[in-house]
Structure 1
Amino acid sequence: MAAIRKLLDGLYLAGGILGALSLVIILILVVLQMVARWSGEVAPGIPEYAGYFMASSAFLAFAYALNKGAHIRVGLLLQALGDKRKWLEIWCFAIGSGLAIYFSYYAIKAVYWSQKLNDISQGQDATPLWIPQLSMAVGAVLLAIAMLDHLVQLIFTGEHGIDSDALESHAE
């Protein structure tokens, strides 16, 4: 069980690191665009790539953010429920898992069809769309795994596994 926990936490951390790297790439792209404008050069496709990396930064970091308690929760309502809190959390994780699985399925399907139809972006970059869509699909799958992970932990251990220190600091 400890090996699986370590693997899952490593996956969430890898997603968070890739999301953070995407933000650094956005910074670099913005600086390149500024330098290109100041020097009178044309840098085609940079705004499109910045958009791709913006989506990548969000989706890849979702699972890590969930694991660290950075997602919005209704702490006051949960605290007011007392002993019934576990049932509301199970319900929430079940709904969240279902939605994440649903979204993952369609994100993977979008990547598949974009690649199969050779769909390209309509900007100056003419990038095959399956490439930037792939990070969205990977991030959605990671989130689905994280939601299911926390749901199963909550059902079998009574604890969801989200960083409790982060939850308590957000509730204040």
Structure 2
Amino acid sequence: MLLTRHIFNFCGALAALSLMSIAVLILSQIGLRLMGSQIPSADDFAAWGLSASIFLALPATLIHGDHIRVTSLRQRLSPRLGHIADILAAAFATLMMGWVAGSIFSYVLESWSYNELSQGVVAVPLWIPQSAMVLGSALFAVAFAERTVRLILGLPVEIEKNNAQTRGE
């Protein structure tokens, strides 16, 4: 398996860890509220964890074929035209996600250069939680680029649940 696939899966694990952290944070917040206390900026940390879980899961979800695809048009095409449509769609997605990743990177760089801080009780430099968006979107673009190349070369593009590789549709 390619190094990128291991990186994508690692990011998926980080996304799962982010979700578990949100659950622990919320349960802790509930318990502390019952005792008359609270966790400062818990809402901020939960929101950042949610954002991280979404963006970090994108590449792993793609290589496992778990993103929603509209295949109604694809099913009406011949196998050859369908394959070409898949290549064009993956190439377009690569370009779009590259643009998205660049835009998010510029946004985070601006937060860093202005030393923007969160407005909650705990002042956190915003570039820190925003970095997960940069990493996730950049790796999603890489995953689409890899998918495009694999489709062009006729290689398997998705990993099935049982770890066997399957051809892209």
| TM-score, with length taken from structure 2 | 0.89
RMSD: 1.8
The SS at the match of 2:6 is: helix
Is 2:26 the counterpart of 1:30? Answer: yes
**CA offset digits 1:119-139 (Å, max 9, x no partner):** 011222221100000011000
Q: Equivalent residues in 2 for 1:44-59 (5 A)?
A: 44-59=40-55
Is 2:106 the counterpart of 1:109? Answer: yes
User: In terms of mean alpha carbon deviation, does 102-111 or 127-136 score higher?
Assistant: 102-111
The residue aligned with 1:20 is: 16
Decide which of 39, 57, 60 is 1:61's aligned counterpart: 57
Decide which of 23, 38, 53 is 1:42's aligned counterpart: 38
Offset of 1:164 from its aligned partner?
5.9
Unaligned runs of 5+ in 1: none
Cα distance in 1 between the residues matched to 2:82 and 2:161: 18
The residue aligned with 2:141 is: 144
The residue aligned with 1:100 is: 97
CA 1:56 to 1:71, structure 2 compared with 1: closer, same or farther past 3 Å? Answer: same
The SS at the match of 1:92 is: helix
CA 1:160 to 1:90, structure 2 compared with 1: closer, same or farther past 3 Å? Answer: farther
Is 2:67 the counterpart of 1:71? Answer: yes
| TM-score, with length taken from structure 1 | 0.88
**In proportion to residue count, which structure has more helix?**
1
Cα distance in 2 between the residues matched to 1:44 and 1:24: 19
User: In terms of mean alpha carbon deviation, does 78-87 or 9-18 score higher?
Assistant: 78-87
Cα distance in 1 between the residues matched to 2:84 and 2:153: 13
Q: Which runs of 4+ in 1 moved over 3 A?
A: 163-166
Q: Report the number of matched residues.
A: 162
1:130 alignment partner AA:
W
CA contact (8 A) 1:151 1:160 kept: no
Percent of aligned positions with the same letter in both sequences?
31
The SS at the match of 1:125 is: coil
**CA offset digits 1:25-50 (Å, max 9, x no partner):** 00011011101110001321001100
User: In terms of mean alpha carbon deviation, does 66-75 or 107-116 score higher?
Assistant: 107-116
The SS at the match of 2:121 is: coil
Cα distance in 2 between the residues matched to 1:160 and 1:89: 13
